[in-house]
Amino acid sequence: MLPPPSEPSECQSLLTPPPPPSGWHAVASLPPLPLPDRRARASQAALGALLVASLAASLAAATAAAAPPPRAAAWLSLVAAEAAAALGCLLGLLLADPGALRRSPERCFPLPPRVEAAVRRGAPLRSNVEEGGRTFCVRCLVWREEGEAAHHCATCGVCVRDFGHHCAVFGRCIAGKGFRGTRGYFKGIIAAGAAGVATPFTLLLVEGLLQEEVCEWCELAFRRGRRRRAAGGCEPPSQCLIFMIVSILVCLNLCCPFRKCLRLVFDACVR
């Protein structure tokens, strides 16, 4: 009969190395994440907020100055709605997660052998590790899977999925697809800005068309009497029309199906 297995002695347990940490303990034992450039992010975000706020205030002032009293409230409501949309998108852009790849056992492990050796030694790592279509970021210590289109943002100190660029005006990564990430908010700010700039020009054009007598609004905006018709009323200023067309094209260009159509037409013309 075999003797029952004996308990490991105190000496044996001291000689055996402890098992390597696993799961979230292993994640916690990794070197700390690179620090974001908080100063740059804060100053860039302040610049973006100042830009949006000053543009909204200037456009509201221009609209208030040019709108005739009977319809002033309607025009100002339109500018206020555009300003609210821009500020809402700005808030979303500043607060939303652009799609940062967070550390987790699945994201971080297994570490590539070269990285594991360097982490043990505490040595710095320079180049990322490519393996079968996926990449290991040696700064965040995370795997970026194939098709994630992830990139490491040095300012934010993190890898971001579907990365577009780091916006130096708003201090955030512009990334994501559809309603995910920050790309939608960024496009929203641009669209609201284009609509806001187009509004005073649209006001001049519409109010000019509605005027039966001499157009006061074109006189305000352009040289006195230059655009006046002999029969009274107002000829739409060509600057307004050009600007409106450009604004509409800018807004439409933000819409993907329209861009695809443009590309198809362009390709057909080039061929």
Q: Which residues are at the interface with Zn ion (CB under 5 A)?
A: 137, 139-140, 152-153, 155-156, 159, 166, 173
Q: Which is nearer to Zn ion, 84 or 168 (CB)?
A: 168
Q: Is 26 within 8 Å of 108 (Cβ atoms)?
A: yes
Residue 25 zone, left/alpha/beta (φ > 0; ψ -120 to 50; rest): alpha
Q: Which is nearer to Zn ion, 170 or 243 (CB)?
A: 170
Q: Is 66 within 8 Å of 221 (Cβ atoms)?
A: yes
Nearest distance, CB of residue 175 and Zn ion, angstroms:
8
Nearest distance, CB of residue 121 and Zn ion, angstroms:
20
φ/ψ of residue 36, rounded to 5 = -70, 155
Nearest distance, CB of residue 48 and Zn ion, angstroms:
13
Between CA 147 and CA 132 the distance in angstroms is 12
Between CA 69 and CA 207 the distance in angstroms is 11
Tokens of 269: 């013309």
Q: Which is nearer to Zn ion, 140 or 205 (CB)?
A: 140
Q: Which is nearer to Zn ion, 156 or 189 (CB)?
A: 156
Report the 10 Å Cβ neighbour count for 218: 26
Residue 214 zone, left/alpha/beta (φ > 0; ψ -120 to 50; rest): beta
Between CA 91 and CA 75 the distance in angstroms is 24
Report the 10 Å Cβ neighbour count for 45: 18
Nearest distance, CB of residue 222 and Zn ion, angstroms:
43
Q: Which is nearer to Zn ion, 184 or 233 (CB)?
A: 184
Nearest distance, CB of residue 45 and Zn ion, angstroms:
11
Nearest distance, CB of residue 55 and Zn ion, angstroms:
23
Q: Which is nearer to Zn ion, 40 or 210 (CB)?
A: 40
